[in-house]
Amino acid sequence: MSVARGGPLLQSRAMAQTPALQGKHIVLGLTGGIACYKAAELARELVKAGAAVQVVMTEAATRFITATTMQALSGRPVFTSQWDASHPNAMPHIDLTRNADAIVVAPASADFIARLAQGRADELLSLVCLARPIERCPLLVAPAMNREMWAHPATLRNVAQIAADGATVLGPAAGEQACGEVGDGRMLEAAELCDALVAFFQPKLLAGRSVLVTAGPTFEAIDPVRGITNHSSGKMGFAVARAAAEAGARVTLVAGPVQLATPQGVRRIDVQSAAQMLAAVLPEAPRHDIFVATAAVADWRPQQATVAKIKKDGSGRVPALALAENDDILATVARLPAAERPWCVGFAAESEDLARHAREKRARKGVPLIVGNLGPATFGRDDNTLLLVDAEGERELPRADKLTLARALVAEIAARVPKRPG
């Protein structure tokens, strides 16, 4: 098999964990709304992620949070007026975006979205948005308003217009609002917005592709309160799902019993047992281009779970537990007819002799790529080391946090998956 490589070989050392937004220059715009308090945390998150943050506030925004607060958090003077004479050429609306990688307006009020839709420029922030080099300085907008304002036909029309003009609309979320009402219109949380911006800048290596991912352990019931499971946290699989979505793919995540937040833009199906995971995967597999079997699926299950809890009787006798072998989800998908079979990636969680076991697993399951790792050294941790095993040999992705590894793995997959005809 000829394998396309996505760049120079990685060395066997810790991968550099550069902050996700290192070197990025972000203009953070604030408009009037109670959600301005979240913008303070967003500025902090962006700076922690390595970005240089320049804050621009409307006059209404200064009624909710001070420019002093935003200056302290961003480390830069805050601009609030197009008439600011302190700027060298008195043209902040031009200069602020010439080196900017993006403008993020958060919160974006209904009034400001209307200004953007109409191309108005009667204050500094709308001037900055209108005067930006549109081909290289994208605009991201995080709406924040009352649910009735969000649902109003005028607002929906304006949001559709700015999206048609090239803006990326982030949110809004649903939930309790400052006015006491509940519904759509809440601004996304600061961490969600920072993650969305990081995702925005990721290379779209899987644009137009669809990816099916399994993650986490399975739980095979013995009785209503006990079961067979393992130490898998699901973190690696969730990181792969997030990285694939960041790379532009349509992603479906089939998750075992874990308590992890669903990555943005990912469709999630929750299951418990291996049988349930197989039942969820089989109809999905033919609808996806790529299948990444990250889940640590239990090899065996009790032949029959009891209806009531098995009780100790004081005799010291241990009840017999008859086991049955679970179906192999990865091998089952890999055996689908060619027209229905996605490009398959398996994971091998071993306790020793990783390379040999991974090679044997790849041959046994008939898949182009196996990703090996030492289970006891990674289960529950936030970092890992991966071994890529294909027909040409082995290569290590050295220790890094799981999201960094997931992005590297997605790049490897994108380089290997056959191009579509035409």
d(CA 15, CA 3): 23
Tell the residue number behind the tokens 């790792």, with chain if given.
Answer: 373
pLDDT at 4: 34
pLDDT at 15: 52
d(CA 246, CA 96): 27
Q: Is the pLDDT confidence value at 316 over 50? A: yes
Q: Name which residue leads in pLDDT, 306 or 289.
A: 289
Which of 3.40.50.10300, 3.40.50.150, 3.40.190.290, 2.40.37.10 is the CATH number of 210-305+324-416?
3.40.50.10300
Domain 25-201 belongs to what architecture? 3-Layer(aba) Sandwich (3.40)
pLDDT at 128: 93
* Least confident span in 154-168, 296-310, 323-337: 296-310
Question: Where, residue-wise, is CATH 3.40.50.1950 in the chain?
Answer: 25-201
Q: Is the pLDDT confidence value at 12 over 80? A: no
What is the set of active-site residues?
Answer: 179
Instruction: Tell me the per-residue pLDDT of 219-277, one tens digit each, with 9 for 90 and over.
Output: 998 888 888 888 888 999 999 999 999 999 999 999 999 999 999 899 999 999 999 99
Q: What average pLDDT is seen over the chain? A: 87
Return the percent helix, strand and coil in the chain, to nearest 5. 35, 25, 45
pLDDT at 377: 56
Nearest to 246 by CA among 295, 205, 282, 215: 205
Instruction: Report the predicted TM-score, pTM, of the whole model to 2 decimal places.
Output: 0.83
Question: Where, residue-wise, is CATH 3.40.50.10300 in the chain?
Answer: 210-305+324-416
d(CA 55, CA 78): 5
Percent of the chain clearing pLDDT 70 (strictly above): 91
